[in-house]
A = this chain, B = another copy of it.
Amino acid sequence: MRRAVLLLTLAMAATVSAIAAEPSATRIPDAAIAASATLRAQALADGTGYRIVESLTTEVGPRLAGSEADARAVAWAEAKFAELGFDRVWTEPVTFPKWERHGESAEVLGAHAQPLVLTALGGSPGGTVEAEVVRFADLAALEAAPDGVLASRIAFVDYRMERARDGSGYGPASRVRSRGPSIAIGKGAIGFLMRSAGTDSHRNPHTGMTRFDEGLAPVPSAALSLPDADQLARLLARGPTRVRVALDCGWNGEATSHNVIGEITGRGALRNEIVLLGAHLDSWDLGTGAVDDASGIGITMAAGHLIGRLPERPARSIRVVAFANEEQGLYGGRAYAERYAGDVVRHQLVAESDFGAGRIYAFNTSAAAHAEGAEAQIAQALAPLGIVASDAGGPGPDLGPIVARGAAWAWLGQDGSDYFDLHHTPDDTLDKVDPEAIAQNVAAYAVFAYLAASAEGSFGSAPKDPAPAPP
């Protein structure tokens, strides 16, 4: 609040034209603050969020974008929004290339013959390669290797991801996955292996997308479970090691899935404006996508549902979007941003839950200066949940495209210390989800969305041209 008032004072001391350009300070009415306390308590005592996670992971299970199960997930989401009393429920088509996994195996050959547990990277071609393995400690070591050193060999990047509450270890680890194969191919490799981008110690490899630079012939590319990466490194330390990698996977035409959207209609003249809560409906195929991202679906659907059950709706509408095919390239988020490119200003604030099932510990927004008072009011309402105001965070992955077009974002930062133990693995299953942590998340999203939707004034969404793609 204090900083917003200061800014307003400064603005009043400036020229008339400057004063005219400065919007008045956004403020959340006292009645809404009071109502949010009741909503917070109700949400903490409510099991809807966890029940949604249980329903999606059990009834649909794994839901790889474009698969039969993905179509079932879309139908599930439509039905669930309706069951939860959303006023409007609709779908919007999202089309993308379809990648399929049918099988995968690997084995060490020769004197130390034994199987290795791995999983194909999304986007990898199928095929069987059998060759000596060359290990690199990290991506820099691979990049520094002389051209041709990998001729007819399999590259193995053995980079070990670091655990962090905010998931900051994932950046360098996922770069191994996205960049490693192309760099290795450039040096002659006929196959690519990596230590999984993960922090666990189980025989469950972590999948995830890779991309091949244009002009390169893709090669089979896979991630070893952490114990298998250890094992391969130990074998390589003993001497030359040949490995056979057999992947049965690849691209297979196009598929169309859907963003599924449910809306709780606002009560007044501002009902055409929305607070958007997002999560993604698709999952990788290895687990049941419980923490990635059924939890986000449960949290955001339940938050909308609880707001819809309040005696009085907030001024604006609450839009919950279950995005299609986040995992393979943010297809749902990009389709949404294109469709609503002309409606950015209608988006009061947008927030995505796609970082697992841990408790929320931090809150931040990209609000303009005139809205910092309202942001502080929301932070205050979240404080009883153990959440502190923060300068960190950003929009979730699916909201990147609409934020690039000018939507203001909010970040409800979850504790991700354990997230990369499970992320993209067979082990991403319901037993890893704590119902009480989900309820805390639902409470935070409900309070945040209700207050943002009740604010007098905006948080600064304004149309802009998305930055051009990097060269």
Contacts and interface: CB of A to CB of B under 8 A. Distances in A.
Given A117-B426, A431-B226, A58 B203 contact: no
A213 interface: no
Nearest to A421: B202
Nearest to A237: B58
A430 interface: yes
Interface of A: 54, 57-62, 68-69, 72, 108, 111-115, 117, 201-204, 226-227, 230-231, 234-235, 238, 287-288, 425-427, 429-432
A36 B262 CA distance: 74
A57 B112 CA distance: 10
Given A112-B61, A203-B287, A231 B68 contact: no
B113 A69 contact: yes
Contacts of A58: 112, 231, 234-235, 238
Contact of A203 (B113, B114, B227, B427): B427
A368 to B, nearest CB: 45
A108 B58 CA distance: 11
30 contacts: A54-B234, A57-B231, A58-B112, A58-B231, A59-B111, A59-B238, A60-B112, A61-B113, A61-B115, A62-B115, A68-B113, A69-B114, A114-B288, A117-B426, A201-B431, A201-B432, A202-B202, A202-B204, A202-B427, A203-B204, A203-B287, A203-B429, A204-B204, A226-B431, A227-B429, A227-B430, A230-B430, A230-B431, A231-B430, A234-B430
Contacts of A235: 58
A426 B230 CA distance: 14
A357 B430 CA distance: 30
Contacts of A59: 111-112, 238
- The A interface, classified by DSSP as helix, strand, loop or mixed, is helix
A177 to B, nearest CB: 21
Q: Choose among A60, A117, A202 the residue with the greatest number of B CB atoms under 10 Å from its CB.
A: A202
A425 B203 CA distance: 9
Contacts of A226: 431
Nearest to A429: B227
Contacts of A60: 112, 114
A6 B244 CA distance: 68
Question: Ordered nearest first, which 8 A-B pairs have the shortest CB separation?
Answer: A61-B114, A203-B426, A227-B429, A58-B234, A201-B431, A203-B427, A227-B431, A202-B202
A31 B235 CA distance: 44
Nearest to A61: B114
Nearest to A204: B203
Contacts of A61: 108, 112-115, 231
A90 B325 CA distance: 61
Nearest to A432: B201
A234 B54 CA distance: 9
Contacts of A115: 61-62
Given A58-B234, A203-B287, A227-B429, 18 more contacts: A54-B234, A58-B235, A58-B238, A59-B111, A59-B112, A59-B238, A60-B114, A61-B108, A61-B112, A114-B288, A201-B431, A203-B204, A203-B425, A203-B427, A227-B430, A230-B429, A230-B430, A230-B431
B427 A62 contact: no
Nearest to A57: B231
Nearest to A286: B203
Given A202-B202, A234-B54, A287-B203, A227 B427 contact: yes
A238 B61 CA distance: 14
Contacts of A427: 202-203, 227
Contacts of A72: 111
Contacts of A69: 113-114
A116 B429 CA distance: 12
A259 B430 CA distance: 44
A204 B427 CA distance: 9
A56 to B, nearest CB: 11
A191 B407 CA distance: 56
Contact of A62 (B114, B234, B426): B114
Nearest to A234: B58
A114 B287 CA distance: 10
Contacts of A111: 59, 72
A434 B203 CA distance: 18
A242 to B, nearest CB: 15
Contacts of A426: 117, 203
